[in-house]
Amino acid sequence: MRRRRSLADIAQPIVTVLALVLLLGVPFWLVISTAGKSQAEALNPNLAPPSQWQLFENLAQVFTEGRMALAFGGSLLVMIPAVFGVLILGSMAAWVLARRSSRGLAVVYALAISGIVLPPAVVTIVLLLRQLGLAGTPVGMIGVYMGMYLSTVIFFVTGFVRTIPQELEEAARVDGAGPVKVFVRIILPLLMPVLATATILICLYIWNDVFYALFAVGGRLDTLPLNLFQVASAGLYLQNWHLIFAYIILMSLPLLLVFAFAQRKIISGVTSGAVK
């Protein structure tokens, strides 16, 4: 028993390093080395290092050709209002849904969280956006994302509000605070941990979403994944693997930087709630 354990203790780091190299090292090295090659060398992407590194030239080229700055701005323009919107509207609704109980509200709650499981109707969303005159606009895209992720926020926050003692609200109410004041001053600050978790999840989804963006804004708004789709669709035809991978590097950098600085928070946020 003891001997076997010490064998496992030696094997574990070796297996870990092997897993890291094979499962992560190979794909990521492929990205970096190919992004550093010339077009001729990158024609058939392989693991050989570039004979001459031209990573920064490729990054610069893709930055301008992929309209990276515009796409970055477009991604932010859609993500920030959508995330703020779902957090505020979702917590307002969740507060009332958690504190009041009636058969009618139980139905409202069930419908409100159904979007966690049920897929959005992508095709008819386009029809609706056209009827509302919002097709291809940031507002339309924000609305679509809010409709998709409100369920998640309402679900998380309702559960969390139920753990906040009513007495905290009562105390403020005795001091003459109305519902808006109670919500803003007492409830919202207490919701911060669960809102942080929801923010991380929803930012991840929206930042990386391409499917719903393809339908809702098509080619009329630049976002990072949409432009990657365009760069790659054109690039694969022209065999421009060095540009595709350069784009992937630039596009992943913002989230990787955020992750590097806040990894502990992100990881604990993502796992909290999953296991009880």
Using CB under 8 A as the binding rule, the residues of this chain from 191 to 250 that contact another protein are 204, 207-208, 210-211, 214-215, 224-225, 228-229, 232, 236, 241, 244-245, 248
51 CB-near residues (< 8 Å, 6+ apart)? 41
Per CB under 8 A, the segment of 52-60, 61-69, 189-197, 261-269 that binds another protein is 261-269
Q: Which residues ranging from 134 to 153 are in contact with another protein (CB under 8 A)?
A: 143-144, 146-148, 150-151
Quote the least distance from Cβ 154 to another protein, whole Å. 7
Within positions 78 to 97, which residues make up the interface with another protein, using CB under 8 A?
A: 85, 89-90, 92-93, 95-97
**Interface segment toward another protein; rule CB under 8 A; list 50-58, 66-74, 191-199, 260-268:** 260-268
54 vs 86 by CB, closer to another protein: 86
Of 24-32, 49-57, 62-70, 189-197, the window that binds another protein (rule: CB under 8 A) is: 24-32
C-alpha distances in Å from residue 71, one per residue of 83, 220, 226, 228: 18, 11, 8, 9
Scanning the chain, the segments in alpha helix (DSSP H) are: 2-19, 26-35, 39-42, 55-65, 68-99, 103-113, 122-132, 138-161, 166-174, 179-181, 188-208, 211-216, 224-238, 241-271
How many angstroms separate the CA atoms of 54 and 159, rounded?
A: 52
275 near another protein, rule: CB under 8 A: yes
Using the minimum distance from each CB to another protein, give the nearer residue, 54 or 242. 242
Q: Does 76 bind another protein (CB under 8 A)?
A: no
Considering the complex, state which of residue 192 and residue 257 has its C-beta at the smaller distance from another protein: 257
The single residue listed with the structure tokens 């054109």 is 234
| DSSP type of residue 36 | T
For 103, the token pair is 């058969």
Residues between 27 and 46 with contacts to another protein, criterion CB under 8 A:
27, 30-31, 34, 44-46
Helix (H) or strand (E) holding 134: none
Which residues lie closer than 8 Å to 228 by C-beta, 6 or more apart?
A: 66, 210, 244, 247, 248, 251
Taking the complex as a whole, how short is the minimal distance between the CB of residue 98 and another protein, in angstroms? 9
Nearest to 45 by CA among 230, 248, 251: 248
Residue 63 interacts with another protein (CB under 8 A): yes or no? no
CB of 221 to another protein, least distance (A): 16
Map the footprint of another protein across residues 97-126, applying CB under 8 A. 97, 99-100, 108, 111-112, 115, 117-126
Per-residue CA distances from 154 to 87, 198, 253 (Å) = 9, 10, 31
CB 56 to another protein: min, Å: 20
CB 186 within 8 A of CB 169: yes
Sites for another protein among residues 161-190 (CB under 8 A): 169, 173, 179, 182-183
